Homo-oligomer: A and B are copies of this chain.
């Protein structure tokens, strides 16, 4: 007799798994991955801690679920930034602006939702498992971000702005730049930059990156 729905209390929650994930997401959004505590999520939902074990292997699984959601939200932010872009006549110019827009969408999410962003890239027990059994993690849709980025880089090549021989590994270079910048701003030595300078640094980094890609 804990959760209520339509005014009626009920023993079975009905959608406890998602409710716990929602609660955990809220925690992650507020304080990052280390604030995702199973008991607190259960408390929020109004359920006993052990109830979570009917839906998750344990704390690690719950965190993993939040992580995936964070990755999805990140990809959404990037897609949104691209979608908001006007079409251009010059395909080269359009490809470059698209690439930068992706970077901005990425950074916007990281800075707007630092807790979720950190969680999206946090180390998870699952990661280490994969290390041991040598598996790939191929079918994760969570890194849709990666696909978006790849397309943008392909467009750069197609538009003749990027030399095909520089194409391999370009995702890594691009992602590294924005990811590193985001973390340096969130947790690192760039943490206490005034907003104005911060924007300048972001634009500068994106400019350097695109210049390097289109070398």
Contact = CB atoms under 8 A, between A and B. Distances in A.
Interface of A: 32, 34, 118, 121-123, 127, 130-131, 134, 136-137, 143, 146, 166, 168-170, 172-173, 175-184, 187-192, 200-201, 204-205, 207-213, 215
Given A191-B127, A192-B130, A200-B169, A175 B179 contact: no
Contacts of A184: 172, 175-176, 179
Closest CB pairs A-B (n = 7): A180-B180, A212-B212, A176-B180, A169-B204, A179-B180, A176-B181, A211-B215
A104 B77 CA distance: 32
B205 A173 contact: yes
Given A32-B123, A168-B200, A180-B183, 10 more contacts: A34-B34, A121-B183, A137-B192, A173-B209, A176-B184, A177-B209, A179-B184, A208-B212, A211-B211, A212-B213
Given A172-B181, A179-B184, A189 B143 contact: yes
A126 B33 CA distance: 17
11 contacts: A34-B34, A118-B123, A121-B187, A131-B191, A131-B192, A137-B192, A173-B208, A176-B178, A180-B182, A208-B209, A208-B213
A174 to B, nearest CB: 8
A179 B183 contact: yes
Contact of A172 (B130, B166, B204): B204
B181 A183 contact: no
